[in-house]
């Protein structure tokens, strides 16, 4: 069983490869070859009233290829900085995190790889951003307003430049040093003009694409930012775009929803994730989950990626405002990207392994 760490991931695959792999994985899902379930979280109070424990998983697989499950073990708390509230997490102590992918063969059940999820997590979400921009933004889009300057923002920019000819980026984040460092390093890497700006309004002014990529607990894309012809995407930032922004969107591109469980044909599963929670013990300060995650939005303005890929057409008019999001297909991503990493690791001769025998037993379970 291969052990593939974050440094391996960084050198084994490119952002463009991850984007192509995920687009293929969605086609496998739409054709019925692949299957996944929504992300599932379990929340448990801790002895510290300011925080709580969250276990999260998402899983899926594809016929003839692989099955994978991504697992996360987090302590969750919230931090206020001025008007902003961010959700923070750690495992063991602040600054360390526990997230990994287990990859299996669907032909003989063999455990194949244990993979750190830190880098590939950012890359697969950024690939979604690029797929949405590819199909739903104006083809002549060349300017980006970026709200956020962390790792997710970096990978989204790396991803989007492969599907649109991006010439100019405005970046805002509350910490001046962060946005200035981001602008300097990413401009040098991508050879794109990137300007750090002092307000979110300055970041989104006169741009073709607005990308909200933050860990903010409240929405960062506001209705007054929206102008005709723009494309929007949001990761984090309050868990979706608020209703006032939704009203300004002409067309919503959603990648899809998981199928219902066998025997439940009439039950719709479009929540971004499902949460199970201990029934007591949480303090108000912990800000544990209190409502369902958002589902499909847009009504008769909603278009699914399966139809766009099938027809090769997304009905976008020049003045339309579009918004793209994955839906709850996270579980379909990890078998594809983990399978890609496993094959690349075999080719590269990555030698770290855990004996497969440790995972096998002679007692039927």
DSSP string for residues in 154-176: HHHHHHHTTTS---EEEEE-SSH
- pLDDT at site 236: 77
Pairing of strands 111-116, 193-196: unpaired
Is residue 87 predicted with pLDDT exceeding 90? no
- pLDDT at site 109: 97
Is residue 82 predicted with pLDDT exceeding 80? no
How many domains does the structure of the chain reveal?
A: 1
Instruction: Say if residue 265 is exposed, middle or buried (CB neighbours under 10 Å; 0-12, 13-18, 19+).
Output: exposed
Within-domain flag for 333:
no
Computed over every residue of the chain, the mean pLDDT equals 94
Q: With a threshold of 0.85, does the pTM exceed it? A: yes
Within-domain flag for 97:
no
Task: Tell me the β-bridge partners of 58.
Answer: 70
Separation of alpha carbons 246 and 49, rounded Å? 35
Within-domain flag for 93:
no
**Residue carrying structure tokens 């750190």:** 116
Is residue 218 predicted with pLDDT exceeding 90? no
Confidence of residue 237 (pLDDT cuts 50, 70, 90): low
**Residue carrying structure tokens 């970041």:** 203
Confidence of residue 182 (pLDDT cuts 50, 70, 90): very high
Separation of alpha carbons 197 and 220, rounded Å? 15
Distances (CA, A) of 353 to 3, 115, 227, 334, 350: 5, 11, 52, 20, 8
Strand, coil or helix: what is 92? Answer: coil
What angle in degrees, to the nearest 10, is found between the helix axes of 176-190 and 151-160?
30
CATH of the domain at 138: 3.40.50.720
User: Can you give the residue range of the structural domain that contains 208?
Assistant: 128-255+303-326
CA angle in degrees (0–180, nearest 5) for 72-73-77: 115
Instruction: Say if residue 234 is exposed, middle or buried (CB neighbours under 10 Å; 0-12, 13-18, 19+).
Output: buried
Within-domain flag for 239:
yes
Neighbours of 98 (CB within 10 A): 16
Within-domain flag for 165:
yes
Within-domain flag for 19:
no
Is residue 201 predicted with pLDDT exceeding 80? yes
- pLDDT at site 51: 95
In terms of Cα–Cα distance, which of 258, 215, 263 is closest to 239?
215
Kindly report, residue by residue over 129-138, the tens digit of the pLDDT: 999 999 999 9
292 versus 54: the higher-pLDDT residue is: 54
Confidence of residue 110 (pLDDT cuts 50, 70, 90): very high
Distances (CA, A) of 184 to 123, 152, 155, 170: 21, 17, 15, 12
Stretch 99-121: mean pLDDT, rounded?
97
- pLDDT at site 269: 85
Kindly report, residue by residue over 296-321, the tens digit of the pLDDT: 889 999 999 999 999 989 999 999 99
HSE-up of 23 (CA within 13 Å, CB side)?
A: 20
Confidence of residue 238 (pLDDT cuts 50, 70, 90): low
Within-domain flag for 90:
no
Within-domain flag for 53:
no
Distances (CA, A) of 158 to 107, 154, 281, 283: 35, 6, 42, 40
């Amino acid at each position: 069983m291969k052990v593939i760490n974050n440094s391996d991931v960084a050198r084994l695959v490119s952002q463009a490869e991850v984007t192509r792999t995920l687009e293929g994985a969605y086609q496998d899902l739409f054709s019925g070859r692949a299957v996944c379930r929504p992300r599932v979280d379990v929340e448990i109070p801790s002895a510290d009233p300011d925080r709580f424990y969250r276990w999260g998983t998402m899983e899926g697989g594809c016929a003839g290829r692989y099955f994978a499950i991504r697992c996360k073990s987090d302590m969750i708390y919230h931090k206020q900085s001025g008007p902003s509230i961010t959700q923070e997490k750690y495992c063991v102590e602040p600054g360390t995190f526990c997230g990994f992918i287990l990859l299996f063969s669907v032909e003989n059940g063999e455990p194949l790889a244990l993979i750190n999820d830190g880098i590939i997590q950012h890359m697969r979400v950024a690939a979604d951003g690029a797929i949405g921009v590819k199909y739903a933004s104006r083809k002549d889009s060349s300017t980006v307003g970026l709200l956020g300057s962390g790792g997710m923002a970096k990978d989204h920019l790396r991803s989007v430049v492969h599907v649109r000819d991006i010439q100019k980026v405005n970046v805002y984040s509350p910490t001046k040093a962060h946005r200035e460092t981001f602008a300097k390093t990413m401009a040098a890497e991508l050879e794109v003009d990137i300007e750090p700006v002092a307000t979110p309004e300055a970041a989104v002014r006169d741009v073709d694409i607005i990308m909200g990529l933050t860990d903010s607990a409240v929405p960062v894309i506001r209705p007054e930012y929206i102008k005709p012809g723009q494309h929007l995407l949001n990761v984090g930032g309050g868990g979706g775009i608020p209703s006032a922004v939704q009203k300004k969107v002409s067309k919503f591109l959603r990648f899809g929803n998981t199928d219902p469980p066998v025997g439940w044909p009439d039950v719709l599963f479009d929540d971004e994730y499902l949460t199970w929670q201990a029934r007591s013990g949480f303090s108000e300060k912990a800000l544990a989950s209190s409502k369902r995650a958002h589902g499909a939005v847009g009504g008769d303005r909603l278009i699914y990626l399966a139809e766009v890929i099938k027809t090769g057409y997304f009905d976008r008019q020049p003045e339309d405002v579009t918004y793209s999001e994955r839906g709850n297909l996270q579980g379909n991503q990890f078998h594809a990207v983990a399978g890609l990493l496993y094959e690349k690791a075999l080719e590269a001769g990555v030698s770290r392994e855990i004996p497969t025998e440790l995972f096998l037993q002679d007692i039927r379970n």
